Amino acid sequence: MKQEKLPTPLRGIVPPMVTPLLSNDALDVNGLEKLIEHILGGGVHGLFILGTTGEAPNLSYHLRHELVKRTCEQVAGRVPVLVGITDTVVSESLRLANTAAEAGAAAVVSAPPYYFTPSQDELVHYYKHLADRLPLPLFLYNMPSHTKVSFAPATVKAIAKHPNVVGLKDSSGNTVYFQLMCNALKDNPDFSLLIGPEEVTAEAVLMGGHGGVNGGANLFPQLYVDLYEAALTKDFELIGTLQNHVLEISSHLYTVSSCGTSYLKGVKAALSVLGICSDFMAEPHQSYQAEEKLKIRGYLKEIKSNMQGQYQSTVNL
């Protein structure tokens, strides 16, 4: 077991990896290997598994634990692995965290328990108590569209006092919130503020955020790394070019259907079209059918043509 020490604050692109599946209960082991190598080949700064993009809530526990082990083994310390432990059952969160620690992961990530809606006080209490028991550093995960609750700035400030709490991933899409969070935590320079939506990663980094947890980096990891670095070095010409690619990906690949999971289905279908891994989705979700995958193929072709030879995968479309 080799573990990459977690930088404080964690910076850069930390892709939220999809979970390659063969069936509802079996990993696509080959696909997983290819996907990890594909993503790491892009120069990313970490890897986040078992998040929303990883369909974690719909995966059986043995599969989640297996994924943690296989991923950590494959990554082999090249980058820090972050493991999602979000669950409505706290003991399952802890069990996953222990597996993560044993496997050599660098940190865990938790969104609020998501059936009931906890109060802000309950969030503070829950996370302090959770952090006490965790074998790894903890990132909070703000995902109000799925959990129905947003961490208030004062709540994060209170939880962040715990030495085991090292960062926040904000997937709200509301950068007013992200800016207010940056302000609330400005006295805590080791606290990592990462942003979910790739469309606003550049601006978040320009304004002091530490990086992005961007789903599109499953497909084109180097694109997002380059955009992050362009933002870091304030190379606005390059930002302009790369941001265009990112917005084309988002506008086309993630909107093929109008359902609430069109983003996730789009990423999985595109990975399958690119020959990287299976696009099977765990119940209750249905993968895209042939018609939608044809559209995805068309958009991928166009996007790659716009990229003029950059960020190519090996597959001909």
8 Å CB contact between 110 and 143: no
Strand partners, 21: 27
Q: Is 2 exposed, middle or buried (0-12, 13-18, 19+ CB in 10 A)?
A: exposed
Residues 246-275 interacting with a second copy (rule: CB under 8 A) = 247-248, 250-251, 259-261, 264
CA nearest 299: which of 242, 245, 222? 245
Residue 177 sits in the site that holds a second copy (CB under 8 A): yes
Binding residue count for a second copy, defined by CB under 8 A: 70
- Which one of 182, 273, 274, 277 is in contact with a second copy (CB under 8 A)? 182
Any catalytic annotation for residue 69?
no
Q: What is the sign of the dihedral through the CA atoms of 122, 125, 130 and 136?
A: positive
- Which one of 77, 135, 144, 173 is in contact with a second copy (CB under 8 A)? 173
Token pair for 316: 């001909």
* Pairing state between β 26-27 and 21-23: antiparallel
Distances (CA, A) of 72 to 4, 36, 79, 135, 195: 10, 10, 9, 16, 23
| Residue 16 or 80 with smaller CB distance to a second copy | 16
**Phi, psi dihedrals of residue 81, rounded to the nearest 5°:** -100, 130
| Residue 206 or 294 with smaller CB distance to a second copy | 206
CA nearest 191: which of 226, 158, 229? 158
Binding segment for a second copy (CB under 8 A), chosen from 69-77, 173-181, 218-226, 295-303, is 173-181
Q: How far is the CB of 137 from a second copy (least distance, A)?
A: 20
Q: Is 225 annotated as a binding residue?
A: no
Residue 229 sits in the site that holds a second copy (CB under 8 A): no
Determine which one of 127, 141, 254, 263 is catalytic: 141
Determine which one of 127, 169, 224, 299 is catalytic: 169
Q: How far apart are CA 227 and CA 197, in angstroms?
A: 13
| CA R_g for the chain | 18
Q: Is 213 annotated as a binding residue?
A: yes
Residue 115 sits in the site that holds a second copy (CB under 8 A): yes
Q: How far is the CB of 294 from a second copy (least distance, A)?
A: 19
Token pair for 154: 């004062």
Residue 126 sits in the site that holds a second copy (CB under 8 A): yes
**x/- site string to a second copy, residues 79 to 98, per CB under 8 A?**
---------xxxxx------
8 Å CB contact between 106 and 6: yes
**Phi, psi dihedrals of residue 40, rounded to the nearest 5°:** -65, -30
Q: How far is the CB of 138 from a second copy (least distance, A)?
A: 14
Any catalytic annotation for residue 293?
no
| Residue 163 or 284 with smaller CB distance to a second copy | 284
Angle of helix 29-40 versus helix 61-75 axis, rounded to 10: 40
**DSSP 8-state assignment for residue 172:** S
| Residue 4 or 55 with smaller CB distance to a second copy | 55
Question: Which residue positions form the known binding site for pyruvate?
Answer: 53, 213
Residues that bind a second copy (CB under 8 A): 24-25, 52, 57-61, 88-92, 112-119, 121-123, 125-126, 129, 146-148, 153, 173-177, 179-180, 182-184, 186, 197, 199-200, 202-204, 206-208, 234, 236, 239-240, 243-244, 247-248, 250-251, 259-261, 264, 282-286
Active site residues: 141, 169
Annotated binding residues: 53, 213
